[in-house]
Amino acid sequence: MALYKAFDPKAEVNGETVLGFVNGLGAFKRQALTILKEEGIDEPVPGKWYSQQAWLNGFKKIGDKFGAATLKQIGENVAKSANWPKEIKTIEDALKSIDVAYHMNHRNGKIGNYTFTKVDDETGRMVCSNPYPDQFDLGLIRAVGEKFKPSNAPFTVEIDAGQPTRTKGAESTAFIIKGFK
């Protein structure tokens, strides 16, 4: 599994997700739309499906141009604009639902996954096995957690430094999540 390489050439991503990505760029939105147009995604709209590989190609160019902090911000905005299961009530449910939402917003073939496990009362672990960059997933997980965490709970998400990462060629990246109480 390579970073920015769709697992299946038929895989698609929906317009809501693409727009969350574009809107995550703020002042750079116009540049992002130009880059996506170069990849065949012209004026994305909700309800329409686009090639995941074309989106990943644009994603890489934008990440290279604007950096890791921008990728994290995009992840946060995608979390806010993506379709989510309605029955989510707790932070644990929310983190488990990232994989459900990922599959709701992608289709056609193998796309990878997000696997959440609770380690103890205050710690969880998310393993991301997909073609997206680590900083994007960091922003995504953080935004989901912030939305559903207990109101006064401190909440943190960090890349598990003891594990290999997709950025360094691994097939997945693990994140340590704290803040369930």
User: Which pLDDT tens digit goes with each residue over 35-45?
Assistant: 999 999 999 99
Sheet of 12-14: strands edge to edge? 49-51, 12-14, 106-107
Banded pLDDT at 84 (limits 50, 70, 90): low
Angle at 158 between CA 152 and CA 160, to 5 degrees: 135
Query: Could you read off the pLDDT of 143-155 as tens digits, one per residue?
Result: 998 888 777 778 8
Bridge partners (DSSP) of residue 107 are 12
Residue 161 pLDDT greater than 90, yes or no: yes
Query: Could you read off the pLDDT of 117-129 as tens digits, one per residue?
Result: 999 988 999 999 9
**For the whole model, what pTM was predicted?**
0.90
Bridge partners (DSSP) of residue 128 are 114, 173
* DSSP annotation of 26: G
Tokens of 133: 């960059």
Residue 83 pLDDT greater than 70, yes or no: no
Task: Please give the Cα distance from 164 to 175 (Å, whole number).
Answer: 11
